[in-house]
Chains A and B, each alone.
Chain A
Amino acid sequence: MFTYKSTDDNFNVQMPWGNGIAALRWNHLFTNKLFMNVTGTFSDYMFAFKSAQDQFNFELRSGVRDVGGKVDFSWFPNARHRIKWGIDYIYHTFTPTSVSAESEDVVFDTGEIQRLYSHENAAYFMDEFDVNENLKINAGLRYSTYEFVGPFTRYIKGDISKPDTTINYASGDLIKFYHGLEPRISFRWMLPDKSSIKAGYSYNYQYVHLTSLSAVSLPTDIWYPTTDLAKPQNGWQASAGYFRNFLDDHYETSVEVYYKGMQNLIEFKEGALPGDNIADNTDNLLVYGQGWSYGVEFFIKRTYGKLTGWIGYTWAKTERKFPDLNNGKVYPAKYDRRHDLSVVANYKLNDRITFGACFIFATGNTLTLPSSWYVQEQNLLFNYGARNSTRMAPYHRLDLSVTIYDKAYKTKQDPESGDNIQVKKKFRSNCAISIYNAYNRANPFFLYVDNDGDFLSGNFKLSVKQVTLFPIIPSFTWNFEF
C-alpha cells in the first residue's frame, strides 16, 4: 500500500492494491509426442485510491476477478514441427470504478457498486516449423469471442426535459457479442557469421482496456471491459531485429525496430469526473481513438570475464489521436518515453566477493497541467497547455551492492588416506549490502496542482507539488542455502 500525506496541504492519499492468484494444473502424456495441459485459474486484482483533502474524503475502488480454464495440446509429429493448439475461457467480473465520498459527517449517496460481467473464449493453433537448419517459422491463428452479459443496467442520460432512461438486462442476458481472427507469424533466419535476423507480425484483439482516470499524473489506471459502447481494442505489431555475437560469443548484441498500431483505445472525455454510480455508467464518460508506438532498441551484453553485464537503450515514441481530445490533434501518450537506458554491471573480485551496480534512466511521463489562469465573470479559470505537453522530470537512479559469500568448500581429513580434502559445504550463506537510489535522487511519483484559499478574498495560492517516493535505502540481506 502506498500512503502519502501532506500536512501542509491537508491532503493525503492511500493506494492499497493487491492480487490474489490460484492455479491448478494437470499434465497428461498421450504418447511421447502428444501432451496435454489442463489449467484452472483464479485471480482477484484490487486497486483503490483513497484521497482526503481538508474535510472531504474520497475513495475509488477498481477491481477485476477472473475465473477461467484452458486446455493446451502440444504435438511433435517430427523433428521439424512443434505444433500447439488449445482453447481457453475466462469469466470476468469487473468493478471498474466504485466511488464513495464523504464530507465531515455527511456521507454522499454514490449508489450501489456496479459490476460488469463477460465471457471471453478463444481457440488457437500454431506451428513452429524448421524449414531448414537456417530458417525457423512460427505461424499461428487465434479466434477469439467476447460476450458482454447481464445483469447490467444501461443508463441513457437525459436532460432537464426528460429523465434518464434505462435498459435492464437480467443475469446471463447477452448484451453484445464480438469476435475476431488473430493471425501471427514470425521467423528467425540464421546467417553464417554468427548472426541472425528475426521478424514478426501479429494482429490482436484485446477485450480489456486500460485507461487512466486522469490526465494529471496520478497513477490511477483502471481496467475497463469491452461493453456495448466500448468496442474491443485491436491492433497490429511488426518488428524486425538483427542479432550478432562477437569475440567468441563473449559479446551479444542486437538492434530491433518495432511499430504498433492500435484502434478503439479509450480515454475519459475532457472534463470527465469519475461519476457516482447513480443513474450512470462509466463508459458514458469515455471517448475513443487510435494510437501508435514505434521505436528502436539497442542491446549489448558481455558474458565473459570478471566484469559482466549489459546495456540496453530504447528510443521510442508513443502517440494518441482522439477526435474528442486535444482538438483532434496528435498528442503524446501518458507513458511516452523517448529515452530508456539501463546499465547493469557485475564485477567478480574473487570467488567470495562480487560488486554490482545498476543505473536506470527514463524520460519522465507526460501530463497536462494548466499553463495560465484568468478571470471571467469573477470565476478563476485555467487555460491548459496541449494535452500531455508537460513532462515530469526524468527518472534516474543508481543502485549499488556488494555480495560476500562464505567458502564453498571446507577442508576435511580423508579417513582412509589421512590427506586433507576439500568437501562441498552442505550449508552455505552469503550476505549482501545494497544501496537503493545511492545518490538519493528525488524522482517524481506524481504531480498535482494545489490550490488553497478563496480567490476573491485575496488569500488564494496556486502551486504545483511533486510527490517523491523511495529516497536512498540501504539494506542488509543474509541469504543461506542448505
Chain B
Amino acid sequence: MKTAHSILFIGILSLIVSSCTKEVKIDIPGYEEQLVIDGNIETGMPPIVLISRSSDIYAPTNLDAYLNGFVSGAVVTVSNGTKTVELTEICTDNLPPGSEAMASAVFGIPIDQLASFHICAYTSFDSDIWGEVGKTYNLTVTFEGKTYTSTTSILQPTALDSVYWKTDDNYTDRGYSWATLSDPLNQYDAYRWEAKPISDPVFYKPFQPFTDDQFFNGKTFDFSYENASNCNGTYEPAEYRCYYKLGDTVVIKVSKLPRDVFEFMEKKYTQIYSSGNPFATPINLPTNIVGGALGIWAGYSPWYDTLICLP
C-alpha cells in the first residue's frame, strides 16, 4: 500500500502565460444605416436642423467621415399649426452675412475655417416660423423616399427668482454663479442651464447642464453652477478654472424643455461621461423622431438674466 505520493513538476516548456490582443471584426447585430436628425427651435430663433447618417461601428471615424456624414438635399418642413414652412438649406461655405457666429457654434468649426468646409443645415429666415412660447412645432423630413416626423413644444419659461455670485471658501475673488428657483407645482419641469461671459458670442454648457424636477417639484431652492467657459484650456491657472472672478458680467440662460427632450439629453450625457470606461453599462438614447431616425427635435424656452459678480 502506498503511504504517500508526491508529484514533481520538473518542467513546463512554456511557463509564461502570454496574452495577446488583436483587432477583431466580430458580427455586431443591429446596425442599419439610420438618418440622424438633430434639430432645435427656441423662442425668438429660427428652427435649425442638421441631418446626417449613422455609421457602422467599423466605419472610419476621421474628419472626412464626420464631414461626409452630413446630408444635403432633404426636404425639411416645420409647421406651427397655422403655418408650414419649408426650411432653406444653408451651407458653411455660403453663409448669409451675420450668421457666422451661430454657424460656428452649430457646426463646431472656427469662424475663420467655415468657408473651407461644405456642411449644410436647414433653417428659415421667415420669422413667422421662429419659436414662440406656447406653440407646438411639427417637423417633417423627407429624404430618399422616406418621411420622418417629430413634434416638440416651446413651453412657458420659468424665471429664476434671483441670481447672485458668492465667493468660494478658498478665495476672496473667485466663486460660482448661484440662483434661486421656484419650481412650478403639479407639473413636470425640465431645465437646461447655459451661461456666457457677456462679451462671448456663444453660450457654454456646464458639466451637467440638464435636470428635471423629479426631486424638487414645487419647491424653492438655491443652486450653483460652475463657469463652463473657462473650465478647459490653459489661459487660466488650474486653480482658477471653472470659477467666475470678481467683476465678471455673465449672461445666464435657463431653458425649459419637454420631457422627451430631457430624457434624451440625460442619457446622452450619461453615455458621454462613461464612454471608453470598460465598466460602463451600455445605454441608448430615446429619440422622439418617428420613422426610424436617430436624434432629437428639441424645443427650448429660454429665460435670460445678467449676473454681475459682486459680493
Instruction: Report whether A385 and B281 are in contact in the complex, using a CB–CB cutoff of 8 Å.
Output: no
Contacts of A278 in B (CB 8 A): none
0 or 1 for each of A41-73: is its CB under 8 Å from B? (1 = yes): 000000000010100000010000000000000
In the complex, whether A307 has a CB less than 8 A from a CB of chain B is no
Q: Which of A17-25, A117-125, A230-238, A454-462 contacts B (4 or more CB under 8 A)?
A: A454-462
Instruction: Report whether B61 and A373 are in contact in the complex, using a CB–CB cutoff of 8 Å.
Output: yes
Q: What is the bound-complex CA distance between A377 and B298, given in angstroms?
A: 12
0 or 1 for each of B41-78: is its CB under 8 Å from A? (1 = yes): 00000000000111111110111101001000000000
Contacts of A4 in B (CB 8 A): 19, 21
Chain B nearest CB, measured from A409 CB (Å): 14
Q: What is the bound-complex CA distance between A479 and B183, given in angstroms?
A: 78
Chain A nearest CB, measured from B36 CB (Å): 4
Interface hits, B263-311 → A, CB 8 Å: 267-268, 270-272, 274-285, 294-296
Q: Which of B121-129, B150-158, B168-176, B211-219 contacts A (4 or more CB under 8 A)?
A: B211-219
Contacts of A379 in B (CB 8 A): 268, 272
In the complex, whether B146 has a CB less than 8 A from a CB of chain A is no
Q: What is the bound-complex CA distance between A373 and B36, given in angstroms?
A: 10
Chain B nearest CB, measured from A380 CB (Å): 8
Instruction: Report whether A455 and B30 are in contact in the complex, using a CB–CB cutoff of 8 Å.
Output: no
**A376-B268, A383-B54, A386-B29 known; A480-B8 Cβ under 8 A:** yes
Contacts of A381 in B (CB 8 A): 268, 271-272, 285
Among A218, A269, A374, the residue within 8 A (CB) of B278 is A218
Interface hits, A174-223 → B, CB 8 Å: 213-216, 218, 220
The A interface, classified by DSSP as helix, strand, loop or mixed, is: strand
0 or 1 for each of A272-286: is its CB under 8 Å from B? (1 = yes): 111000000000000
Q: Which of A132-140, A338-346, A363-371 contacts B (4 or more CB under 8 A)?
A: A363-371
Q: What is the bound-complex CA distance between A182 and B285, given in angstroms?
A: 42
Q: What is the bound-complex CA distance between A470 and B19, given in angstroms?
A: 7
Instruction: Report whether B14 and A464 are in contact in the complex, using a CB–CB cutoff of 8 Å.
Output: no
Q: What is the bound-complex CA distance between A380 and B275, given in angstroms?
A: 10
In the complex, whether A28 has a CB less than 8 A from a CB of chain B is no
Chain A nearest CB, measured from B148 CB (Å): 14
Among B20, B36, B215, B223, the residue within 8 A (CB) of A374 is B36
Contacts of B58 in A (CB 8 A): 462-464
Contacts of B4 in A (CB 8 A): 481-482
0 or 1 for each of A237-277: is its CB under 8 Å from B? (1 = yes): 00000000000000000000000000000011111111000
Contacts of B20 in A (CB 8 A): 442, 467-468, 471
Instruction: Report whether B36 and A375 are in contact in the complex, using a CB–CB cutoff of 8 Å.
Output: yes
Instruction: Report whether B9 and A477 are in contact in the complex, using a CB–CB cutoff of 8 Å.
Output: yes
Instruction: Report whether A160 and B29 are in contact in the complex, using a CB–CB cutoff of 8 Å.
Output: no
Smallest Cβ-Cβ distance to A287: which chain B residue: B281
Instruction: Report whether B21 and A458 are in contact in the complex, using a CB–CB cutoff of 8 Å.
Output: no
Interface hits, A372-414 → B, CB 8 Å: 372-387, 389-393
0 or 1 for each of B1-23: is its CB under 8 Å from A? (1 = yes): 01111111111111001111111
Among A3, A159, A369, A481, the residue within 8 A (CB) of B214 is A159
Q: What is the bound-complex CA distance between A187 and B52, given in angstroms?
A: 64
Instruction: Report whether A385 and B279 are in contact in the complex, using a CB–CB cutoff of 8 Å.
Output: no
Instruction: Report whether B274 and A374 are in contact in the complex, using a CB–CB cutoff of 8 Å.
Output: no
Q: What is the bound-complex CA distance between A4 and B18, given in angstroms?
A: 8
Contacts of A380 in B (CB 8 A): 61, 275
Instruction: Report whether B215 and A162 are in contact in the complex, using a CB–CB cutoff of 8 Å.
Output: yes
**A161-B216, A273-B280, A389-B29 known; A375-B52 Cβ under 8 A:** yes
Contacts of A470 in B (CB 8 A): 17
Among A371, A442, A451, the residue within 8 A (CB) of B30 is A371
Q: What is the bound-complex CA distance between A160 and B215, given in angstroms?
A: 9
Instruction: Report whether A476 and B10 are in contact in the complex, using a CB–CB cutoff of 8 Å.
Output: yes
Pick the most buried of B29, B267, B284: most chain A CB atoms within 10 A of its CB: B284
In the complex, whether A474 has a CB less than 8 A from a CB of chain B is yes
Instruction: Report whether A371 and B223 are in contact in the complex, using a CB–CB cutoff of 8 Å.
Output: no
**Given pairs A383-B294, A447-B24, 5 additional interface contacts (CB within 8 A):** A161-B221, A371-B30, A376-B296, A390-B28, A477-B9
10 contacts between A and B (CB under 8 A): A272-B280, A368-B281, A381-B268, A385-B28, A390-B28, A391-B26, A468-B22, A479-B7, A481-B6, A482-B6
Sorted from nearest, which 4 A-B pairs have the closest CB atoms?
Answer: A385-B30, A458-B63, A161-B216, A378-B108
| Chain A positions near chain B (C-beta within 8 angstroms) | 2-4, 6, 9, 51, 53, 60, 158-162, 213-216, 218, 220, 267-274, 368-387, 389-393, 442, 444-445, 447-449, 451, 455-482
